[in-house]
Structure 1
Amino acid sequence: MDVSVLGQFPTRRMRRLRSSPVLRRMVAETILLPDHLIWPLFVRPGRKERRPVASMPGVCQLSVDEAVRETARAVEAGVPAVLLFGIPERKDEKASGAWSRNGIVQQAIRALKREYPNLWVITDVCLCEYMSHGHCGVVEHRRNTTRIANDPTLALLARTAVSHAEAGADMVAPSDMMDGRVAAIRAALDRAGFEDLPILSYAAKYASAFYGPFREAAESAPRFGDRRSYQMDPANAREAIREVALDIAEGADLVMVKPALAYLDILHQVKTTFGLPTAAYAVSAEYSMIKAAAAQGWIDERAVTLEALLAMRRAGADLIITYAAPDVARWLHQR
């Protein structure tokens, strides 16, 4: 843009368009709406179970009946979608709870779709919560070394995605970061007759320190090592573009950047490079830091949360996964 044509002070006064709340809303370049929000839920076995997550104020592990009851709050506020994570009754080295027909996520899908048929139910497709060792893939022991085996994991991920589709999921979201998993899931869904079911890929998922509270909520901390051999190095940006390109080529319909706030540059690059519907995950530590500072009276929780989410939208996010979704939707209606 040639700024010389815009004029100079006093002809051009930028404050004119900031003079009232009505005018500021009318000329806003970026808009945050309840329709942009996805609410993560942690479901566990039992009835009338509500187990608070100490590191995430306001977040609980919920039995299916409580998850259905709690979702009413989000639906009434206008949140259109949930993202399900499961905590199984038992864990093993085959992640059998992830793909069991009566697994905890499968139960939750059926219950939520029965109660709220218009709610968009997305499922996290990963194995870490269901593996006894806490990693996202099959563990192999070779020559005194232990590794997460990529290719043997793909079949389990595909089986899990199909079981979610059979239970009634509207979308699956693979978060494991195994190479080739989108192609494996797409092929399995198509063979099972779910060719119209979209895939939201955790395409650029970093090995981030911002996931700490989530490990408690999902009971998914690895028993040994870490996830740096399969999740992305926080130092790398160009690699994220390659990761996203591969997932799109394999059949991803939407892509995600995780975490969000510390990776707004990645989010912007992904959106501008590919133009595909793009999600940002406002992860557990982002949520918990705001909650902790607000509890001390240091910040305005509502104002900071809305500003952070607006920044994600401004960077290119079409969808935002946030633990604050019901509150955010209610705040937006009150404006």
Structure 2
Amino acid sequence: MSTKAISQRLIVLTVLALLVLPLAMASVSVPAEPSADEEEGWWIETTVDRDGNGIGDMVERYHDHPLFLDEDGTLPLIIDFDHTPTSADVAMLEREIGYEHEWDLPLIDAVAGRIPHDMVLEATTLPGVVMLELDGILEVQNGDAAVVHEVDLAQQATGYDGSGVTVAVIDTGIDGLHVGLDDMDDDNTTDDPKVIGFYDPVNNPDKVNGTEVFPYDDQGHGSHCAGTVAGTGAPTYEHPGMAPGAFLVGVKVLDAGGSGSFAVVMAGMQWTVDYRYEYNIRAASMSLGGPGAIEWTSSEEDSVNRMSNEMVRAGITMLIAAGNSAVSAQIGTPGSSEDAITVG
């Protein structure tokens, strides 16, 4: 082939390439940039609210139940925001829907309180409000503690006994005078308390520094759990706790009847995170869960579950009861939280 023919062929191929290439490029799909108007958040697709109307399914199911509706016609709610709510947001709720403020829950961008029953729909239209959840009820669990876990063998193999760390027992309280919980060495002549902090949002919510209320338990379950966690075993030493060298912090979130609202429980959880460095809280025990229908309808995105996950992200290992009833064949809140270690 002559040089002239080769040059002509190259010119033809070049022209064809210039014609075809733009068409080929036009046919290549380009990933669409996400729209700035597209909302993101746990509340967009959640089993808390299966119909997506911003009102938790539990609210719709129990909005007129006498267990939750008081004589003034108000309903206890967890109000979730798309940001950490401020005092201005609380004032807006009070002004627009007659909200009665009870608790700040910044760890999950929420507040808790009561609103008139007939203002539920109105609440969903307020700026920043993304979900209304029922402030449900939690009760004591772990009535019969398992004793055969070979913890003694683990202690012998590792030498670990909990020394140097603090465990928060989020429950009915801790009896600070119990012989197995009152001090570290069971020697009354020394000043070495085992329970080094105590917060009581049930009866003393404003006393928050951890030293203003002497540790007490008006139900007994929390002391039982505290003994299981870190009791010295005194006076017989037959049944010491799993980590007898650990300190304890008591967080009383359940009343003398052994139950409490989601909001009060989460207030105790929030306090535990806020004071984790002051008391070196490395783990928290929560032997509680929802009764009956509350457990049956629990969601992974329930407010207490989200709070539990945030506690883990803050560096606190969460040890939560799976439940005792086995009625619903599932684990309810907060044991169903994704990041907790659930035991049962």
TM-score scaled by length of structure 1 = 0.30
Task: Determine which structure has the larger helix proportion and give its number.
Answer: 1
- TM-score, normalised to structure 2, is 0.29
